[in-house]
Amino acid sequence: MPYTYEYPRPALTVDGVVLRKTDAHTEVLLIERKHWPFQGSWALPGGFVNEQETLKQAVDREIVEETGLKNLSFKQFHTYGHPDRDPRHRTVTVVYVAWITENQPVTAGDDAAGAAWFNITALPPLAFDHAAILNEVITALNLKKD
């Protein structure tokens, strides 16, 4: 169905915060960006919502495409929409959080050059506003920064 609007509108994305506990600490799954913007930087896995999918379908699809992880139990966390959060254009993202309990292998795919687990106390510099998002998740879930 074609749409015509007289005003600009933001793009819609989803980002997935995937967490796991180890014996020593809490870890978050990050992807290394393959393309501009922030090429080579680490980020939360995620991407644009397709026209005919729900937000939940979008986050599930993006996580599978970028990390290989399937069947995660995501819960919607918060929406972020600062006008300058993406240098390409106005983008609003809906963030989801999931915990995994098993040590599942991750495989970078799609527009991710890499995928790896990071201790929440030893994070690399993150793309976009992902450091602020992750800090809010850590605070809201009362995770110890061991």
Q: How far apart are CA 31 and CA 107, in angstroms?
A: 10
Detail the DSSP E strand segments found in the chain. 11-21, 26-33, 42-43, 46-48, 75-80, 91-100, 112-119
Q: What is the pLDDT along the chain (146 residues), one digit of tens a residue?
A: 566 778 888 999 999 999 999 888 999 999 999 988 998 899 999 999 999 999 999 999 999 999 999 999 999 999 999 999 988 999 999 999 999 987 888 988 888 889 999 999 999 999 999 999 999 999 999 987 55
Domains by residue range for the chain, with CATH: 11-140 (3.90.79.10)
Q: How far apart are CA 126 and CA 65, in angstroms?
A: 20
Q: Please tell me the predicted confidence (pLDDT) of residue 8.
A: 82
pTM value is 0.91
Using DSSP, state whether 83 is helix, strand or coil.
coil
List Cα–Cα distances, 40 to 6, 10, 31, 71, 114, in angstroms: 37, 25, 9, 27, 9
Q: How far apart are the first and last CA of the chain?
A: 51
- Residues 32-73 have pLDDT tens digits of 999 889 988 999 999 999 999 999 999 999 999 999 999 999
